[in-house]
Structure 1
Amino acid sequence: MSSRFVWVFVLVALAGCKGDPSEPPEPPVQENAVPAASILSPEEGATLRGAGPHELVGSGSDAEDGSLSGAALRWSSNVDGELGTGSLVRARLSAGEHRLSLDVTDSGGKQARAQISVTVVIEDQPPVVAIESPTAGASLVEGTPIPLRGTAMDPETGPLSGAALTWISDRSGAIGTGTQLSWTGAARGTHRLLLTAVDPAGKAGYASVTVNVVPPGTNQQPVVTLSQPSDGAQLLTTQTVTLQGSATDAEDGVLGDSALAWSSSRDGSLGAGRQRSVTLSAGTHTLTLTATDSLGAAASASVLVTVTAPGQTAPTVTITRPTNGFTLFEGTPLTLEGTATDAEDGPLTGAALRWSSSIAGALGTGSPLTVPGLAAGSHELLLTARDSSGAESAARIRVEVLPSNSAPTVQITSPATGSHFTVGSTVALRGAAQDPEDGVLTGNRLTWQSNLGGTLGQGTSLDVASLVEGTHQISLTALDSGGRAASATLQIIMDPAPVRLPPVARLTGPAQAEALRPVTFDGATSSDPDGTITSYRFDFGDATAPVSGTAAQASHTYLTPGTYTVTLGVTDNDGLQSTATRTVTVTPYVRVPEVVAEGVESFGSACQLEMRGAVAHLAFRGGIHPSLWYGTLTGTTWAMVQVDGMGFNTGGLVESSLAMAVAADGTPHLAYSLAGRGVWYATRSNSSGVWIRERVDSATVPSQPGAQLSISLDPSSGQRPTIVYGWYGSVPSVGTVWRTAVAFRTGTAAWTGEVVSFPLGTNAGQPPLGEATFSPTGTLFIPYGANLLGAWKSGSAAQALALPANLTGTRISTTWAPAGPLVLSANGLHRVVLANPVSASTVTLSAVEGFSLSQFSVAVDSGGAPRLAFTHGGELEVARPGTDNYWSRTENLGAVDSGEIDAAVDGAGETRACFFRAGKVLLY
């Protein structure tokens, strides 16, 4: 009982004796004394290495309470806050300067404080690396992709990936980077695979496995499973221990008892079989199950167990450093740390802890223990702890020691450490590395990293403008051909950028535009209060890609009517941005005919048009000097060339009838006739631009002047050019009459022609009356006679179909629709729905005008609907099926000269037409 409580008791007793003349005077009240506090460890000003845990030792005493302990002693840090209570505290501390306080409180509430200052230095730790696939000792089949999979965990920044991980084979060299990849083409033989991981501070960690690449068909090792006892098990000498395991083999399947052998590192052979019952001697045992297949391939698995006599308790052992699978290079010092605690003896230290290696033998005692260097190889390190009663237990890890490889020497030459830069400015990083084995290292052997910005790039020279504000630890890591890494580091400070003013965006342009016609928007009046505008970005609001660049103006073509919001974004020389918007209303496009060819030459009599996407292909005839011309219009670019005409010892007078077909790749195919020289074919190579001209008709199948020419590409014969022309001659049992001739190209300057007699109108003339068109299966449909449509296919009998109206007028126009051919004549549009035979087909005639057409052409759109171009009162008019399939017309498109016009449908689904006006070629 403390003295203060004795005095209180005495005073209470005396208070009951009032009026006693012999009562002694009241003793003075003693005040509770302040306790004493003392920090014994660490010392004032000490430098503590690592985060700990660090031991904080202190004491507290009080005049009344004596020695204080437990919750009466409270530890804290001005950085990390409360650390714990008691005379001994193991605490983890953050890096930096700490003011450590020990506050002592006695039973009366009086307090005392002791304080010291310490500095905690936490060095960046290397990443912990592991190879998950392949496993050590694996046999891999040559020629088969080998999956490589690994992990790297950096204690400071977390998981590493990508270029931070490099795979290397000592046999094949560099393989690749990343946490996983497929290794192909591995050479046959033994490979040591090394996975090197480098953290942002340039610290490197390693993992390695040795594998064998074997020829296909090589016997594979068994796969062994040791299921009992478990690793680290504590057993007794009097205990019957059950050993249990199994093995499977790729060739033999499940292996039997005789293939499985058990052994102990202490007791030797323990017998064979999938299950054994044994007793073990006292001590630490490595129990191994070895499986051997029928061809002698062996593999094993093992566990470490501790066996003690009854009444003994073996210590608990843990290896804390390094980690299992740790990899280092030969000649590198290795620090070993571990702990052991015994139920009776408490913590074991010094000689009670023995380290040994499966290769090097005894290494030393105590913890920590630094081994100067281990020989190359796979070491099983054992930490054995022995208590005062002689009971032992152990823990084990595997450490891979790679053959000696000297580390590179790395130097950062620029910038100087401690340099200041402004955010947004370019930092010039320069460095060099030299390796004793490889010499000078360059390129992807050198990697720059920042603790704030991650991987920055590779090489001896790197300019970086993306570093964020703050203090950066910049590292340059060099990796040699053997996978060993070394780094140099420095610190630079990125200061905040000064306040800069954003630009002012201003956008001008029309408020209205027309679809399919270009419109220009202007951002030239934009400005920057403290600099210049460096780029403009126009977003036209119609889902097309924005236009970016240094130009202050941009033109755009809207495809469909509507209301659109145009956005201009401007960027100044500081990288700051602003935007402005403008609304534009786009009205429907109204196409007008445009002159594409004019000059001294007067063009007329016939034109042909094909559309391939946005490119228009035209063939037309010069009238003053009878000649054949070909041109293309791409956007606003027009190009034309004379294909044939009068020349010096070449060409001739081009007659009025001509035809054109254009392949999907844009190759033109032309058919025309030369006066007195028959029917000709011309095509141009898209690669060379050279025109090829060939005579089509022959002495056996000559052409007759005056008939219509047509050309079409046979889809069933590789787009083979096929030309239809007129033939006039003697037909048995009929007399001298017109017939249709068909010629198709069989090779360069090689044509095969035949005269066709259709079954309808046999006794009359059968000249072709206009365009011929192919079906998808290669049947050619040819208008002929008064009201007939012929069907011809090479090698098959000709067929014919009677149409309900005469094929009067100029050149008859045909095209292919999904159900069959469309035939446009002066009397209207014949829509044919094919049947077999062709004569059984049905035909519907649709009137186009209330009069006979004189110039007309039909095309078909992507949906199979007809598109018409024709003249009405001497002016061009186009039509398509509209509401309820009534014709929807676009009228009054301008005067048209006499001659042949042609229609096509472009990539936007618009009807196009070529025609002549005043000796010029126009395109609608």
Structure 2
Amino acid sequence: MSLRILLMLALVALAACGGDKSQPPPPPPPENAAPSASILSPTDGATLLGAGPHELTGSATDPEDGPLSGTALRWSSSLDGPLGTGSPLSVRLSGGEHRLSLDVTDSGGKQARAQLSVTVIVEDQPPVATIESPTAGATFEEGTPIPLKGKAVDPETGALSGAALTWSSDSGGIIGTGTQLSFTGAARGVHRLLLSAVDPGGQAGYASVTVTVVPPGTNQKPVVTLTQPTEGSRFFTTQAITLEGSATDAEDGTLADSALAWTSSKDGTLGTGRQVTGVVLSAGVHALTLTATDSLGATASASVLVTVTVQGQTAPSVTITRPVNGFTLFAGTPLTLEGTATDAEDGTLSGAALRWSSSLAGALGTGSPLTVPGLSAGSHEIFFTARDSSGTEGAARIRVEVLPTNDPPTVQITSPANGSHFTVGAVVALRGTGQDPEDGVLTGNSLTWQSSLGGQLGHGPSLDVSSLEAGTHQLTLTAADSGGRMASASIQLIIDPAQVKLPPVARLTGPAQAEARRVATFDGATSSDPDGTVNRYRFDFGDATTPMDGTAPQASHTYAAPGTYTVTLEVTDNDGLTATATRTVTVTPYVRVPEVVAEGPEFFGSACQLEMRGAVAHLAFRGVTHPSLWYGTRTGTTWAMEQVDGMGFNTGGMVLESLAMTVAADGTPHLVYLMSGKGLWYATRSGNTWIRERVDSAATPVEPSTWVSIALDPSNGNRPTVVYGWYGSVTDVGTVWRTAVAYRTGAAAWSSARVSFPTTATSHQQPLGDAVFSPSGTLYIPYGGNFLGAWKSTGSAEALTLPEFLGSARVSTAWTSTGPMLLFASGLHRVTLRTPFSASTVSTSLVEAFSLSELAVAADAGGNPRLAFTHGGELEVVRRGTNDYWSRTDDLSQVDSAEIDATVDAQDETRVCFFRAGKLLLY
């Protein structure tokens, strides 16, 4: 019988015996067991160096679910809070003691926790410096101040300011300190500007840009703005893209479509214009670049990085987390690159899926983080490219500036000892050393003392201070080498309070370098009083000028001469106690830089005239594009100009190239100029109105190819007198040139006559340039090849034969106490007057070995000549020097081929007007 049948019979028997007839309850479900968790790394009690990344690994199992992973594992820190999920997990941790927790949860909600303790020691991280102005590649005209603006943020202490930020130029050395200042006197050429930031712990961070200083009037590069698409945009290969951008140019204004070209690093040329529509890009990462070219060929560009994928595919999302854009380091310094990449299908990408490359160095390596041993000097564009399992790529980029190799200095504080105590007001002797591998022993402004409470204290290896306020000071000595690299050493210093009224603390900031005759500003605003307020500030500038005393904490001063000066600030507090601070400023010689005073759509040239009356420069000049006469004044930095004559409705006409100007003592201008087909004209200003009058007459008409000149006759009430050329038939002589003189007898009334000088009466007597009056009213006129004429309205004309032929260039004249000076093509004639005039003597001085073409002469207060002329297309200014040899200031600016003029200002400086690239410049 089978076992099944026997069981059935047994059940029937039990039922027949009258047992319990109810069914037994079902067994209870088994209880959900809790998971178990353990932390595998780090180990309990471990010390972790640096903020990371550190790898956390753990394991968790559940009786029902088996091994747990992913979001079932949650990490947290007692200091940093939630850290993330999964195992392994890469994290960054702040400094201090952490209680790390691994919390695990099974599918039934049961939890378990594992914990351990670690200590994280984070080294002081360097600050992150950023230059906000100027921008990389910017161009500035010589003489224009370069605005410097930057910032620095320290991971531990926050924003840095004041002496913690140092600006330097690779060609100009240390410029100054602070978040914002002005770089003046920058020499022509390329400057790498370096912003060095040092945190309280002595760690240094850097930022740099390269700018170019060009001569005034140099064609500027365009400024390009790329508005669409934006950096990091994503598109499909089937998507039509619109490109938008624009460019402006200092000379051309808004550039036309034809000047704008679009390209792709992957697909090449895309089109031209401010807007290009319907652009379809191939799959991959593209650098889209908009390049602008101005009318003189200068170019500039802007670019964005975009990602293009096939429809249905998603490119990885890529971010560079370290370093920041614009990060600057020195060649030979290891660079750590760090970034993240996530993909919609693959999740977090790592390892070989992440590639780093440089625009200069090529492939750098894979994975994140990646440490590059050292990059070569230059501006590197760093690309971080991620590729998912389908081969689709995404990318991000930053700019990293690598400076030429420069080893950092070493610095040491030798006194006082760390932790020393002093009483408020006591003299603290600060002593330290700085040594640089390239520069040797560092001294002076290369060593800067700073207090965490008192700011900048002073410079040099030895400094005695008595102004430290009560409290705990972190005292730092920072060394800066000639390349801008920084290093620091720090100690703690405790200043204990005194039980008496405390004097104020004087703190003085300002430039370490200045230029004579330019404004320098000094600041005592950070001065303070430990037990009250600062009421007065007294600035002594160290140059024997009257100190500036008052309630203003800032003072501006202009040094008259170069030298080294000690600026002293004395502050007085509300208790009448005083304190002083000093600062050494090195004043370099004043260097006049030619400045553009007139530019725009009108092209200026042909001729200019210049005279100084006090602090006002008067200029007359010609517009070439639309032949016209212009007049302007320069007072300090204020320039005003207006058109005097030119083409217009029922007025004026085309102004020819010859013009002249003289200015009365009261500043009234008197101009004379030629008009095409309309003769010779005179203009003067009465109030805001220009008066214009015809000068030549039917009897003595002007010859259009002549030079004209104007002077004021001191013997006849300073009446305007005009000299010009007449060409016609002379009885018994023939058709020849003669000099004509016209003077103003009243409003719109002129008397004119031809002058026949006694010498060479049968040949040409054409005026050859500027005429000049003597104080007695005799007018001296160069004419006819090698003669100087003397004319007075009440006497006969006289003539003097000159030893040299005057040449074809316009002769420039100036009056001295002994007689006139004439600068001509071959040199300088100095005339000593005798009676009769023909007996006068002439001394000649050679100036150049070539024939002068654009030239001008002026006389200083001592009657010495000041010369200006062009040499090889460059302006050259010459004066009488040691042992009567010529002293030259050359290569001042490129000069157009046009007549120039010179004068001497109230500061005994030679001033010159000239043209460059169609712009009027004043030196």
TM-score of the aligned structures, taking structure 2 as reference length: 0.48
Larger radius of gyration: 1
TM-score of the aligned structures, taking structure 1 as reference length: 0.48
